[in-house]
Amino acid sequence: MSRTGSSHDRPRLILASESPRRRDLLKQIGIVPDQIVSPQVDETQRPEEKPAALAARLAEAKARAIAAPGPRCLVLGADTVVACGRRVLPKSADADEARRALALLSGRRHRVLGGVCVIDGDARARHRLVTTIVSFKRLEAREIEQYIASDEWRGKAGGYAVQGRAAVFISKVIGSYSNIVGLPLFETAALLHGLGYSADGRG
């Protein structure tokens, strides 16, 4: 994927993610990666690994899974973890898993942890970890079943998509909204800018 109107002075950017949400979020702030590659990373949580540590580790693992092809190249990796207490809620693989996640989140606060890692051409890593607090209203069984029927939950951490129908479940958000969608934009843009990359091409 090429970028139009880019500057020769700006580093090349590789997005190590197959998520269309992350791609769209970057586009929202004027960043179009030069290349998008899907990293092959085992996302299994390690024994006793806390949610924040998991998000940070996977963000770096995804970035490192894609080798930078040159010194003027940056690889961006990211991971989103939904946690209720110390419990990590995985990407829902089936309706029962999504139903259990929504029942657990009902009437409670939970955390969305966004890990971001940028690796430069010298294999040096820079990190950001962003926490957003999300409060759910108490969900009725009917509401959960209607949401399950929408299929919007498929592949979503915690079994919901804040940018979709689940928006009506959320009574309060403290922190970065874009982090819940899939990428904390303020922190990501600041990280890239510090490494000489900006959307306007001036570095």
Q: Where are the domains of the chain?
A: 12-194
- Which range (4-13, 140-149, 175-184, 193-202) has the least confidence? 4-13
Q: Which of 9, 79, 120, 151 is catalytic?
A: 79
What sign has the CA pseudo-torsion 29, 34, 35, 41? negative
> Any catalytic annotation for residue 94?
no
Mean pLDDT of the chain: 93
Assign domain 12-194 to a CATH class.
Answer: alpha beta
Q: Which residues pair with 74 in a beta bridge?
A: 13
Rounded mean pLDDT, 61-77: 91
Render the burial of 20-42: b for 16+ CB within 10 Å, e for the rest: ebbbebbeeeebbbbbbbebebe
pTM, full prediction? 0.91
**Residue found under tokens 């934009």:** 185
pLDDT at 5 over 70: no
Rounded mean pLDDT, 51-75: 93
pLDDT for residue 116: 98
Question: Which pLDDT tens digit goes with each residue over 100-115?
Answer: 999 999 999 999 999 9
